[in-house]
Amino acid sequence: MNGSYKKKLEGLQVVKVSEEPGRRYELDEKALESILLRDDIRNLPVVVVSVAGAFRGGKSFILDFFLRYLKAPRWSQLSNEWVGSEDEHLEGFDWRGGGESNTKGIHLWPEPIVVTIDQTGEKMAVLLMDTQGTFDMESDMGDNSTIFALATLLSSVQIYNLRGNIGEDDLQHLQLFTQYGKLACNAEGKAFQTLLFLIRDWSSPYEHPYGYTGGEGLMKKRFEPRLNQRKQLREVREHIHSCFETLKCFLMPHPGLKVTDIQFKGRLCDIDEKFRVSLLELIPSLFDHEHLTSKTINGNKVSTKGLLEFFKQYVDIFNSDELPEATTIYQATVDACMMTILRESREYYESKMDSNIIEDQSVTENTIQEWHNAAIAEAIALFERKKKLGTQDDIEARRSDLQKELEDRLNPYLWQNDTKLKDALSNAKKAFENIISDACKDQARLCLHVKDLYALYFEAVPIGLALFDCTRTAVPQELDEERKDLVKYFENLYEKMCAVNEQNNRSAILEAREIYLLRMNNGFMQQEFSSDELLRQHEEALNLATNHFHSLRNRPTQESEDAHLEQLLQSSAEHYKNLCSVYEHRKAALEDQELLKQAAREAHELHMSQLREITDRMSRIEAESRRHRNDCAIL
């Protein structure tokens, strides 16, 4: 066989025989993860079909036909047209004719094939495994046994590829790892799943016909006990039967002489017709939806992600000694199986918790605790349901460790929830405060009519609560203590706002009254007023004061009654009344002063009149006296 032509993909080596001292086998974890941890298949049940056997036995060649079937559309699988055209080249795992081994270690096809079961819709990932040929010139018995054992431990169907017949040495080679089955068969289920003896180049179809019918006859003949059979030979057969759930055998003819030619490219037209007919029977029996065999360990289905753990465990164990003891392999399986169950239990807990948690939603601490308790209970129940290997004491210890580990996972969820709650409360309070701040932005202080302040509060509270409520959809409002505390916070803040608002309104009254007093007093002291002028001055001053008071308010009020404005008007009216009283007193005093002046003038005029009268009288008397004297003198 010749694989010299270029292929788009080829098998990816994941296990190789190491040349490093002290480590015989190397696991390429990066390569393995690239196959098994793909997002679309990592959690799917896995089907692993492995082909193992002597080198140059055509293992890779038959695997490529497996690939052709798996990649074919479903309709062509059902109609047998999946085999392809006569001139189509065979592609896939590297194969070639000759006398040297082509596959080293263990190879996996790098692209798992996802199969959707027709009847149920269930998806499964199918992996094809090619193994290093046994008993080549470069491998020793330890390497041969280990690679074969690894492939059998990891596969759900192990195809034992043999040429010509089932020889006694072939059965004895199986004995190297069937000891593992002796330990595991006491657990539920057998150690391995399906072993298919694939007999290539079967040359006696007249004795046993090609296909499963002839294979069953040949296997029965090889496995039936005989008289005088040595104990060792009988035990080999008993071990194989006890370790595998299913044993099958399929007989295939030679593919034809053209296949052995160095120029062979894998074209269907160069393959013998009988071989092609055998392919149509063999391959659907392995890969048709009704016949797929998922990988299980102790009765539990293994996912592709879980298969990675088993790869690691087994390779580590096979590296621990020249040839691992069966007990060591058993313990490796116990550990790998337990790790898978523990991982699934952890992931189940996480999935249950994560399914309850919404990214921007917070809940009560009691709700988180209830989710946590329920998730732990279900995760532990899952652990209990899984079939497990190992002693009961070990299982109980692992269960206890799992319980403690899951209990410790509560705090991160509480912290995450508390962070979201704090953010929600902060945003709600900020939204409330922003509405208040927007109302005060021009004056930078809170000054409103009392009813306008309540209306502003009544506007801000629903907005803050709505912002909080949208992050608490899972919590009934009547049971939400955090919401009640937020409402109480708003109420307390409103009380403080009322006190600040009252103080600022009083300050506004004082400022406005100062403007009124300044205007009134300056005018009153600087000029004489009539009562009309005093009233006009009062009205102007009051208008200035009320305008200033309104300018200190954050928004105009539509309320007809305003207690603070009434205080301003009342104090202004009292001051005006006082000024009017002063004016009246001043006016009365001025009038009294004028009367006194008039009385003085009248008294003065009276006095002067009296003086003139006295003077006149004195003059008359004097004149009369002179006349009298004159008269006397004459006399």
Can you spell out the DSSP letters for 538-607? Answer: HHHHHHHHHHHHHHHSSS----S--HHHHHHHHHHHHHHHHHHHHHHHHHHHHHHHHHHHHHHHHHHHHH
Structure tokens at 270: 């160069």
Give pLDDT, residue 375. 95
73 to each of 82, 283, 560, how far by Cα in Å? 8, 15, 84
Q: Where are the domains of the chain?
A: 12-324, 344-408
Residue 281: its H or E element: helix 273-287
Beta-strand pair 46-53/123-131:
parallel
Give pLDDT, residue 635. 46
Give pLDDT, residue 439. 83
Give pLDDT, residue 139. 55
Q: Across the strands, what pairs with 126? A: 47, 113
Q: Is residue 249 a contact partner of residue 255, using CB atoms and an 8 Å limit?
A: no
Give pLDDT, residue 283. 95
The 10 Å Cβ neighbour count of residue 539 is 11
C-alpha–C-alpha distance, residues 250 and 278, integer Å: 9
Q: Across the strands, what pairs with 633? A: none
Of 158, 150, 103, 180, residue with least CA distance to 319: 150
Residues 6 or more apart from 357 whose CB is under 8 A from it? 413, 416, 417
SS3 230: coil
Domain 12-324 is found in CATH 3.40.50.300: yes
Percent helix, strand, coil in the chain, to 5, is 60, 10, 30
DSSP secondary structure string for all residues of 41-110: TTTSBEEEEEEEEBTTSSHHHHHHHHHHHHHS-HHHHHHTGGG--TTPPP-SS----SSS----SEEE-S
The 10 Å Cβ neighbour count of residue 330 is 22
Residue 355: burial class (beta carbons within 10 Å; 0-12, 13-18, 19+): exposed
Backbone CA torsion sign across 548, 553, 556, 558: negative
C-alpha–C-alpha distance, residues 436 and 457, integer Å: 8
Give pLDDT, residue 382. 93
Q: Is residue 271 a contact partner of residue 259, using CB atoms and an 8 Å limit?
A: yes
SS3 159: strand
The 10 Å Cβ neighbour count of residue 526 is 8
Residues 6 or more apart from 632 whose CB is under 8 A from it? none
Structure tokens at 432: 């409330």
Give pLDDT, residue 621. 61
Give pLDDT, residue 613. 66
Of 219, 225, 276, 221, residue with least CA distance to 250: 219
Give pLDDT, residue 99. 43
Q: Is residue 150 a contact partner of residue 315, using CB atoms and an 8 Å limit?
A: yes
Q: Is residue 511 a contact partner of residue 568, using CB atoms and an 8 Å limit?
A: no
Q: Is residue 107 a contact partner of residue 12, using CB atoms and an 8 Å limit?
A: yes
Phi/psi at 55 (5° precision): -65, 155
Structure tokens at 233: 């030979």
Q: Is residue 124 a contact partner of residue 97, using CB atoms and an 8 Å limit?
A: no
Residues 6 or more apart from 581 whose CB is under 8 A from it? none
Q: What is the dihedral of CA 447, 449, 451, 453, to 10 degrees?
A: -10
Residues 6 or more apart from 283 whose CB is under 8 A from it? 65, 66, 69
Cα 89 off chain centre by? 47
297 to each of 28, 190, 306, 315, 341, how far by Cα in Å? 23, 9, 10, 17, 11
Beta-strand pair 106-108/12-17:
antiparallel
Q: Which mean pLDDT values do the consecutive 10-residue runs of the chain (635 residues) have?
A: 49 84 80 94 95 75 90 90 82 55 77 92 94 59 74 91 86 64 44 90 94 95 81 79 89 86 76 92 94 88 92 82 55 78 92 89 89 95 85 88 93 91 91 87 82 90 89 80 90 91 89 85 64 83 90 88 89 83 73 63 59 67 63 55
Beta-strand pair 192-200/157-163:
parallel
Of 335, 327, 334, residue with least CA distance to 179: 327
C-alpha–C-alpha distance, residues 373 and 275, integer Å: 60
C-alpha–C-alpha distance, residues 126 and 113, integer Å: 5
Q: What is the DSSP letter of 319?
A: T
Report angle CA 152, 157, 159 to the nearest 5 degrees. 75
Q: What pLDDT, in 10s, does the model give residues 300-327?
A: 899 999 999 989 988 887 777 645 555 5
Q: Which residue has the tokens 């060591």?
A: 328
Give pLDDT, residue 148. 81
